């Protein structure tokens, strides 16, 4: 299991998960991404995240890929905050609108 240098990306994906799915929303996010929850936990701990998973995360959450990579710029595409996906929200890549 290769870990990225520093904790920047791991910190940012955890932040997105907490904002959009809540503190205990990891299983829901992992399910939406089509990966096991344990794998998501490893990503938040610093394991290298495959490109396809990053692309799915960007599509699902509308997180700005530049912010995700560097921490610079707007966090979300469009510059605004996004509704939490664990509850009420808009339809995005398999997340049903309620």
* Category of 5 on φ-ψ map: left (φ > 0), alpha (ψ -120 to 50) or beta: beta
Residue 96 lies in a domain: no
User: Is 12 a member of any domain?
Assistant: yes
pTM, two decimal places: 0.76
Question: Residue 91 has which token pair?
Answer: 């339809």
Residue with tokens 């609108």: 97
Q: What is the pLDDT of residues 7-46, one digit of tens each?
A: 799 999 999 999 999 999 999 999 999 999 999 999 999 9
Overall number of domains in the chain: 1
pLDDT digits (tens, 9 = 90+) for 59-75: 999 999 999 999 999 99
CATH number of the domain to which 38 belongs: 1.10.260
């Amino acid at each position: 299991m290769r870990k990225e240098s520093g904790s920047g990306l791991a910190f940012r994906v955890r932040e997105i998960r907490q904002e959009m799915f809540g503190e205990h929303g990891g299983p829901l996010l992992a399910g939406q991404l089509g990966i096991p929850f344990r794998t998501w936990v490893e990503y938040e701990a610093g394991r290298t995240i495959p490109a396809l998973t990053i692309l799915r995360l960007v599509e699902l959450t509308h997180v700005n890929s530049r912010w995700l990579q560097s921490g610079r710029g707007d966090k979300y595409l469009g510059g605004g905050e996004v509704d939490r996906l664990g509850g009420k929200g808009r339809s995005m890549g398999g997340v049903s609108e309620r």
